[in-house]
Structure formats: structure tokens, C-alpha cells
Amino acid sequence: MDKFKLFTISAFCILGLIILYQQLNQVQQTSINIPNESEELTEHTELTSVASTALSPLPPILDKWRVWPPDIRYAICRPKIYIYEIPSDIQISDHKKQRCTGSNYNAELILFDQLSSPNSSPHKLYVTENPEEADLFYIPFFGSCYLFNCWINNEWNQTKRCQVDSVYLEPLMNYIIQNFDYWNKTNGMDHFMIHPMDRSDNYYEKKEMFQNAIYLTIVGDKRNLEYQTFRRYNNIVIPSATPILNAHNVNPLKYVGENGNPFGRDIKGLFRGCCANVNATDAYSDGIRHVIFNGLKRLPGWDIEENSDIEEYAKLLARSKYGLTPSGWTLDTTRIWEYFAFGVVPIVIADGIIEPFEDDIDWDSMIVRVRRSDVHRINEILDSISEEEYQKKRERVWLIGKYLVINNGYAWHFIVRSFCRMLNIIKQELIDIEGYTYDSI
């Protein structure tokens, strides 16, 4: 018996030694395969420093039509838009509309007001009273306002629909299809409407009635999801309304001053929003918010909570260098508009997102994109951005972002550029846009 034990022990020892030897060998082999990094690094650094002293920047392009991102006064076309007037017994009542100013989804009302007010710059440039000469037809459908009123009246039960199809959608679409022949002429392809909620037209059982129209939506998504709400080449992504700016009507200038507070920002990264209890494997935000609340939140410089009151949030925004915009149920993140309004550089964590007006806005010059697989490295990624680079982004956020925040009245000029491309109307024209001063060079 003893002999057998001894034999077993020694057999194990020998086996152990063999494994140890093999592992050591592997370690040696891998370390031999690693290139000499320090050598390579110095070589690169020398090369770039030589390069940057030897080269000077190219002169600006003089032909402004060739510049990207464009100065939007150099218009692709100036389409004529006809706005259907919907009889008051079909349309949402003024009382209901009034309530919707408190909704997160009132982009549909804000944009409607901007285009239909006779004195607005987009109205003067694009609206026609004569449908015969129109390139585009605007269906003033306020479905999210209808549903907002429905949910308020039903203790915020968002599965309720309050007969939106039979009471609102069908009468409205029938009115347009029966009384005018413009819908039938193109089967609705030159008609457009706004769907400013996460699930686009999926709130409506009769959505097939208007599905040929172009949608202006707040979610842009390149992923190939089974339950896809975004139609890549039929939709235009627009900025969304946000509570602090569009329901509480906070004025950012009161907090950041006229210059956007370039240097007085002592918070590294800010986030206010759901959901501290998300797990890494949850579908909600694909687990991203798990890392935010269970990792980033503990690091110095970060201010991360689920809620804060509006006044406190406005003050924090004015003090923050960066703000997180992680995806939630969908890829869009309303916080990005608050960051733009307050001069905060957004960190976008939403792989596959399509931001509004990507054909006309150089998004990567203003934001920091972090992929889901790098979320745990956000702090290091920010540390690797120089102060100079940060200031460049912040300045562009401040200068360009104001044209993208929905209540500022410029969104239509960008929407129209997308229409020109979709309808393939290329008729360049220099237009005057009131209050627009940004020269992209």
C-alpha cells in the first residue's frame, strides 16, 4: 500500500513538473513574440514630431459648395411644402395640445409650430399654400400627444390606446386620402409625418394607412433587429424634445453664460437617469448602465445618480466637462440635447446609432464615441484626451449644438436637406437663414 501511495505521489509530482515546464515555455515563447514596443514607440513619436514641424495645414477651400460639413445656407434645394389643414373635429384639441407641452415627446408640436408660424424662417423659405406646386406634403399627425393625454387620464398606463386608431388616425388619414388626390398620386411617398416616440408607428394598429409616408423619428438604428422600428432609407432622424429644455423651459445661458463656461467645469462626467439595478446581461441598455452605476459611479470626478431636481441638474450640467448618453431600450438618448444646450461634450455609448442629420453634421468632431465593449475603460479613454482636444470638441458642441437643439428653430433647415436627397432634387441655392452665423471653415 505504502509503495503504491509513494508511486502515486511521485507520478503526480512528475506530471506537475511537466505542466509547469510547458507553461514556462509558453510564457517565454509569447514574450519572445511580442515586438519591442518601447523601440517602436520612440520611432513613431520621432516620426510624428518631425512631421508636425515640417507640415503646415492646408488652406481653406474657397468654393463653399465643396466644403463638408456644409454651411447650411448653401442649400441643396428649396422644396415647397404643403401643410394639410385638418378639420377641428378630427384634429387634437387645443386643450390637449396645451397639456402636451409637458410631454417628453412634444417634438411633433414644436416642429409643427415652427413650420406653420407665418413669420418663421422655415415657413418663409419652404411652405406653400398651393398644393399643386408642392414637392412635399406634411401630415400634421399628433399621435404622441393623443397618447400622452390618454396615459395621463389612465394613471400613466402606457398599454392603453384610448381608441387612437378609430377616433384619430383613421378619420385623419381618410380625410387626406378622400379629399385630395395627392396621396393617391404617389401612394404617399412624398408625404411625411412625425413619430417622436421610441417605438415610432408601432402604437397604431392601422399604421399601414400611413406607412408609405416619410417618417421623422427620434431613433436612428443601423442594427438588424427583428422588431425594427427604424427604416433606414425612409426615415429622417430628428432631435428629440427633452424635459429640462422643452417642458421646464430652463434657459441654459442663465447657467453657462454667453461663452458656454469653457474653463469653469470641475465635474469630469455626469449622468442622470435610469437604472442603477440593471444587470450586465440585461437587454435594457445591453447592460451598459450596469457598468455606469456599479463601476464608474465610484470613481473620482464622476457624478452619477438616477434622479435630481431640475434646478440642481441645470447647475450640474453647467459644471460638467463630459456627459454620458448610454442607450436604453432604444439607441437614441435625449440627454445629448441637454448636453448640447449646456456645452457638455457627450459620450455616446450606443453601437449602431444614427444621429440626426449625419450627412450634414460632423458628429465625431463633437462627441466621444465609446463602444459597448470599451465601457469599462471610459475613464481611461477620457484621460487620454488632451485638454486641447477636449476644448476643440467643447467649442464645436457650443457653436453647432445650438442649431440642433429642437426649440431653437433650425431643425427644419437640416430636415429639408434630407428631403432634397431622398427625393433627389438637386437645385443648389444660396439661402438666407435668419440668425444662422456658423461658418464651418
Per CB under 6 A, residues contacting ligand NAG are: 36, 38-39, 157, 159-160, 177-178, 181, 184, 277, 279
Q: Shortest distance, CB of residue 237 to ligand NAG, whole angstroms?
A: 30
Q: Shortest distance, CB of residue 334 to ligand NAG, whole angstroms?
A: 22
Q: Using a CB cutoff of 8 Å and minimum separation of 24, what contacts does 396-401 make?
A: 396/362, 396/365, 396/366, 397/339, 397/340, 397/343, 397/344, 397/345, 397/346, 397/366, 398/260, 398/262, 398/343, 399/438, 400/361, 400/366, 400/438, 401/339, 401/340, 401/341, 401/343, 401/366
Map residue 4 onto helix, strand or coil.
Answer: helix
Strands (E), 252-319: 267-272, 302-305
Q: How far apart are CA 409 and CA 378, in angstroms?
A: 34
Which residue number, 33 or 437, has a Cβ lying nearer to ligand NAG?
33
Task: For 302, list phi and psi in degrees, rounded to 5.
Answer: -95, 140
8 Å CB contact between 193 and 215 = yes
Which residue number, 250 or 291, has a Cβ lying nearer to ligand NAG?
291
Which residue number, 43 or 266, has a Cβ lying nearer to ligand NAG?
43
Q: Shortest distance, CB of residue 137 to ligand NAG, whole angstroms?
A: 13
8 Å CB contact between 46 and 39 = no
Which residue number, 113 or 170, has a Cβ lying nearer to ligand NAG?
170
Which residue number, 13 or 41, has a Cβ lying nearer to ligand NAG?
41
Q: Shortest distance, CB of residue 178 to ligand NAG, whole angstroms?
A: 5
Q: How far apart are CA 200 and CA 102, in angstroms?
A: 19
Q: Of 83, 82, 89, whose CA–CA distance to 168 is shortest?
A: 89
Q: Shortest distance, CB of residue 34 to ligand NAG, whole angstroms?
A: 8
Which residue number, 39 or 208, has a Cβ lying nearer to ligand NAG?
39
Cell of 439: 461658418
Q: Shortest distance, CB of residue 43 to ligand NAG, whole angstroms?
A: 10
Cell of 53: 514641424
Give the Å distances, CA to CA, from 362 to 354, 420, 421: 12, 19, 18
H helix intervals, 272-319: 288-294, 310-319
Within 8 A by CB and 6+ apart from 87, the residues are 175
- Taking residue 93's Cβ as centre, other Cβ atoms within 10 Å add up to 12
Q: Shortest distance, CB of residue 328 to ligand NAG, whole angstroms?
A: 14
Which residue number, 182 or 230, has a Cβ lying nearer to ligand NAG?
182
Q: Shortest distance, CB of residue 211 to ligand NAG, whole angstroms?
A: 15
Which residue number, 289 or 396, has a Cβ lying nearer to ligand NAG?
289
